[in-house]
Amino acid sequence: MNARSLGHSLSALALLICSQLAFAQKFAIVADKLYTMASGPQGQAGVVLLDGGKIAAIHPGNSAPAGYTVMHAVYVTPGLIDAKTTAGISGAYNIPADQDEDEQTDPNTADVRALDSFNPREMLLQYINTYGITTVQAAPGITNPIAGQAGIFKTVGPKTVGPTVDELALKPVSAIVFNLGESPKAFYGGKNKAPTTRMMTAAIIREGLLAAQAYQKKWTEWNAGEKKDPAKQPARDLKLEAIGLALRGDVPAIFNAYRADDIDTAIRLAQEFKLKLILSSVTEGYLEAALIQQSGAAALVGPTLQRLESLETINASLENAGILAQAGIPVALMTGFEGYVPKNRVLLFEAGVAAANGLGFEGALRAATIAAAKILGIADRVGSLEPGKDADVVLYDGDPFEYTSHVTAVLVNGKLSYQRE
């Protein structure tokens, strides 16, 4: 399907369901197999009650109370969470006009925010929502050693027409993103500009962190003083302020690394500056499982079906996520960036392959729901079906990870965002 056809299909879908999106209805979702991903048994018959955009209650059995719009499904799960993607800042047409994931002008773009590029009307958000993805962490791309600030967003807004990015945002700034490996040196090396080696990539990151430390010290001293001389007030620096968020532990530092040696470098830098480390991609993570576990880092793994197209990905394994999870490492699944139309891998499919290659059904579902929510710091809102949480729910006509099954309906914040014809 080309981008134009995709756009027409999704526009028609939006028209079909817009009347239902306009109101947060009271739904009773009856499941033959309910996976709440909360504590307690999974895969039993159950009913999820949605009211006012929140989960009101969970009941065993298959009896829906009066006063609710009843929906039935074979399987029901929480909304899926793509832990790192460019959906929303990288568009379906794959032309310069809709590509905003990489600010390729400076190796240090810590001051840029995914929030300021995120397009709440991007058709890719609608596309992945039809496969059950209700929340994404959108992150700057992989070119710059210090790439910028990620953000966490819902894939569907509260309004039928004209949602704003602020309405979709769960966390406007969720992490500071760093990149190691081939991409930074390949891009800037081609321009005869640093970095041209992994050594310089790490040095640029280290210099940025040291400069941010010095910047924080200046402001600490200023704030501790009497502030009588405005001439001595430090000048603001948005890059250093952003890096300071990671230094203080206000947000995690996401290091994108594919090869084992780059994973080692990420851990070394994180320990040097006492950063809350999250690794992403981690293609050769299974080779470093013990070290990652000892470091305390979480891993955003993926994509499972990564192509073996370079020295960075030649050792990719379908079993990577399973091996890391078995080693006791907190694991979530991510789709990253793709250069082909429609521009996005589908998390549901990636999870299915990971499930079949060591992660298991519940392990894969956990990595795409509650584990991702915990790693990203949003488990109070999403990731499991529990009273008080956002009513993000996915309905299926069979095992979610079987290729013959379909998503039959998706609800975000208690509103029907997709329903299979």
Which residue type does 248 have?
R
Cβ 355 vs Cβ 403: under 8 Å: no
Pairing of strands 54-60, 27-34: unpaired
Which residue type does 340 have?
Y
Distance (Å, whole) CA 394 – CA 40 = 19
**What domains sit in the chain, N to C, each tagged with a CATH number?**
1-78+384-421 (2.30.40.10), 80-382 (3.20.20.140)
Cβ 155 vs Cβ 126: under 8 Å: yes
Beta bridge partners of 76: 34, 395
pLDDT score at 232: 81
- Report yes or no on whether pTM surpasses 0.85: yes
Tell me the three state secondary structure of residue 254: strand
Structure confidence by residue, pLDDT tens digits, 262-296: 999 999 999 999 999 999 999 999 999 999 999 99
Structure tokens at 398: 């069979």
Nearest to 340 by CA among 9, 100, 3: 3
Under-70 pLDDT residues of the chain: 1-24, 159-161, 226, 228, 341-342
Say which DSSP state 366 is in. H
pLDDT score at 20: 46
